[in-house]
Structure 1
């Protein structure tokens, strides 16, 4: 996958370049030290991933990320910054990663692999539903609990399960009831979640495998949780096609 490095510090760009060169399957196609040159490089080189600094002279990386998101077939954005106070703002840019400098090789590898998988799956989903794919505005789900209103990062959500008039969101840190319908969630998060049953949606990027039990029924194995949502027979072929499973 092709990578564009955007950072106003030459030494920071060189360090990232050396790290990327050691990772098989990834290569740096261009560099830029400001937002304007970065947009030009994106148009010229069509990178798959942008490693983006936030604090730069002129327009900052958050502003640039918003412009990148508006591009057709936009590259994935991974922030690389020395400042952690921008993390919350980064949630609203559809970035797939947020790394603090000095970036460590193992962390860079992990987020690049994540971007690679996400990029492939989203592309397939967008082809199936180009009008709505990746148009999600919210980055958090709101749930009412005994402690009040809690914000659950969409990144942490693994699946939604409907039971009569309630929908339960299952995420990395537990589960909560929602006031929203499964249909509303499916429409809003098309391209990020896929329906596997009339009563459930799962996060596409967190699917690790499809498993089949002794009765021939398929289940989805999701990252970080033990539950295995059932795939109805009518949705098995769609899920396999989405994940390029033969």
Structure 2
């Protein structure tokens, strides 16, 4: 698990760094007293877990968590703070944990271990086997950004390429049972972890844009409301 640490008090940051560094299976990607620097790293999606103080100069830890939540980034958040007043609002952002200072080492270690287990259980695994005439193309599910049905053919958009197949969305949807994929529209299946933005297109539909990709998908108003209730 890749972890980012941010606390404007150096003494508290040093404590975080010492605890996290002692754990197996965890790598510290950045450790900073600057929330702005943490924000720059978050935008790159270089981490799986952010451990942050809440009240800091400039951007707050709460604002960083709100950015992660509103953009559906696959980053868990642990708040380590001396402020109790944000607890209710923090859990509205689906943060992983809220730890009050001063805290024992074991309290933070247990929280990180739970985040590790949760990440393992939610990880997209497996492959799709796509029929292409006399060939079978193997695609890692985690690399699929979205799938579009147009006419009698289907296009699978991955991070690196577009694969064409005659398999229907119904057939592919049966293979993508992970929580990360939804049938956003009669012609589209999308991976929510790549979604960048929803833009109103018509009364009952939106255009979906994705991180690092010009191609777009469609999503119905009903599905947007479903995502807001169940994911974001």
2:32 counterpart residue number: 32
Give 1:122 shift: 3.2
For structure 1, the residue ranges without an aligned partner over 5 or more in a row are: 135-183, 192-246
Count of matched residue positions in the alignment of Structure 1 and Structure 2: 142
1:21 counterpart residue number: 21
TM-score, L = length of structure 2:
0.53
1:89 counterpart residue number: 89
Cα deviation digits, residues 147-183 of structure 1 (max 9, x gap): xxxxxxxxxxxxxxxxxxxxxxxxxxxxxxxxxxxxx
**Structure 1 outlier segments of 4+, above 4 Å:** 130-134, 184-188
Seen in structure 2, the aligned counterparts of structure 1 residues 86 and 72 have a Cα distance that, compared at 3 Å, is closer
Deviates more, 1:45-54 or 1:112-121: 112-121
Equivalent residues of 2:181, 2:191 under 8 A apart:
no
Secondary structure class of the residue paired with 1:85: coil
Seen in structure 2, the aligned counterparts of structure 1 residues 43 and 132 have a Cα distance that, compared at 3 Å, is closer
1:189 equivalenced with 2:230 (yes/no): yes
For structure 2, the residue ranges without an aligned partner over 5 or more in a row are: 125-177, 183-188, 194-224
Equivalent residues of 2:68, 2:75 under 8 A apart:
yes
Give 1:132 shift: 8.5
Cα deviation digits, residues 1-47 of structure 1 (max 9, x gap): 11100110111111111011111111211122233211112245711
How far apart, in 1, do the equivalents of 2:63 and 2:83 lie?
16
Q: Quick check: which one's strand share is greater? A: 2
- The within-5 A match list for 1:182-221 is 188-189=229-230
1:79 counterpart residue number: 79
1:49 counterpart residue number: 49
Give 1:133 shift: 6.2
1:117 counterpart residue number: 117
Cα deviation digits, residues 210-231 of structure 1 (max 9, x gap): xxxxxxxxxxxxxxxxxxxxxx
1:100 counterpart residue number: 100
TM-score, L = length of structure 1:
0.50
Give 1:56 shift: 0.4
CA root-mean-square deviation = 3.0
Seen in structure 2, the aligned counterparts of structure 1 residues 33 and 133 have a Cα distance that, compared at 3 Å, is same
Give 1:94 shift: 1.5
How far apart, in 1, do the equivalents of 2:68 and 2:228 lie?
23
